[in-house]
Structure 1
Amino acid sequence: MEGESKRQRRHDPERKERIISKAFGAIAQYGVAGVTHRNIAELAEVSLGSMTYHFKGMDELLFIVFSRFAEEGAEFVRSRLSGAATPDEAIHILAEALTDGVWANRDNIAVLYEFYSLATRKPLYRPILAAWSETVRQSLERLFTPEEARAFDVCFEGILLQNFLNPSGGLTSSEIVALLKRICLGDG
C-alpha cells in the first residue's frame, strides 16, 4: 500500500520489565492456574503481541518472575539479619519481618504459595526454591547452628501460612519470638 505510512512502533524500553512486574501482580490476583497472557498484557498495558515477542511462553515468564521473587525474598532476609549481632536480636528481627507487612504481605504470600504449588508439579521450579532456602539458611548460620537455621526455615513457612490464612488471628511478633526461642533454641 504505497502512500500509506507504516504504523509506527512506539519505543518502550521498559515494556519487558513492566510485563514481568505485572505478571507478579497477575499471579497474586489470579493464581498460576488463572494467569494468562491476556490478563498480564492488560495489567501491563501492552499489546498481546508484546507477550510473545518478549517471552517464548508462560513458563519462561513464570521462571523469571519466580527467580526474581526468590532472590528478592532471600535478599530481604539477608539485609534484615545483617543488623543482628546476637541470636536474640536475630529472633526479634525475624519475628518483626514476619508480621510487619513489608515482605509478609498478602501479594507476596499468595505468590509464594502459588510458587510452592507450581514447584510440586513442575520440577523446573524446584531449584529456585532450594537456592532461596539455602541462601536464607546461610544468612541464619552466621548466628545459629545449621540445625537451628533449618528449624527457623521450617518455622517461617508455617508461620507465614498460618498468618496468611488467619489475618485476624495470626501470631503476633511476641508470640513468634517465644515460639522461635522455644523451638529453635530450646528456651522456655
Structure 2
Amino acid sequence: MGSCQIGLKVVLYLYCVALKGRSDSMLALAEDHLNDIMSNVTAIVCGAIASNYRNIWWLDPAGAVLISLYIIRSWVIICWQQVDKIVGRGAPREFVDNLMSIANSHHEHLSVDCIRAYHFGSRFIVELEVLLPPKMTVEESHDIALFLQHKVEAFDEVERAFVHVDYINRPEPEHKVDYNLRHNRNLVLLPPERNKPRSRA
C-alpha cells in the first residue's frame, strides 16, 4: 500500500513540475507532493532499519525530526517568495533590461524615458514612459504606443502593460511621491498656464 501511494505521488509530482511555470498553485502542489514522497520514504526506511536493528532504535524518530525540519524549511522559502510577489517587489534587472531593449528598438522615433516593472501576484505590471516627437499626430503616437503595449504584454510574465507617451523629458515627478514618510504624498502640478484649456479656433 505504501509503495503504491509513493508511486502515485511521484506521478503527481512530475505532472505538477511540468506545469509549475503556469501558476504558483502548481509550484505549491509540486512541493507538497515532494514532501509527501520524502516523508513516506523516510518513514518506511527508518522504521524498517530501526525495527531490525534494535541498537539504533533512535533512527526512526531522528528521521521524523529531520524530515519535519526539511518540510518547514521548504515551506518557509516558498512563503517568503510569495510575500515578495504580494508586496509588489520589483522585477529582476535582466527582465527590465530586456524590456528596455525591446522598447528602444520598437520605433525609430521612440526613446524610453522610464520603465517600471513590479510584481502583481505571480506576474508583472509594466509601466513605460516613452518620448515621441512633439509634432507627431495623436493617431501616429497612439498606434506606436499601442503596438509597444501589445509587444510587452505578449510576454508570459507580464500581466498588464501601460505605455505613457510624452514629448519631453520631465525632471519633476508626474505621480505622487513619498519624499519623506512624515509628510503627505504630494504631486507636482503643472504651472496654471499649462493647465488652462486651449481656446478653439
* Structure 1 length-normalised TM: 0.30
Q: 1 or 2, which has the higher helix percentage?
A: 1
By relative contact order (CA 8 Å, sep 6+), the higher-ranking structure is 1
**Structure 2 length as normaliser, TM-score?**
0.28
Q: Pick the structure with more strand per residue.
A: 2
- Decide which structure has the larger Cα Rg and report it: 2
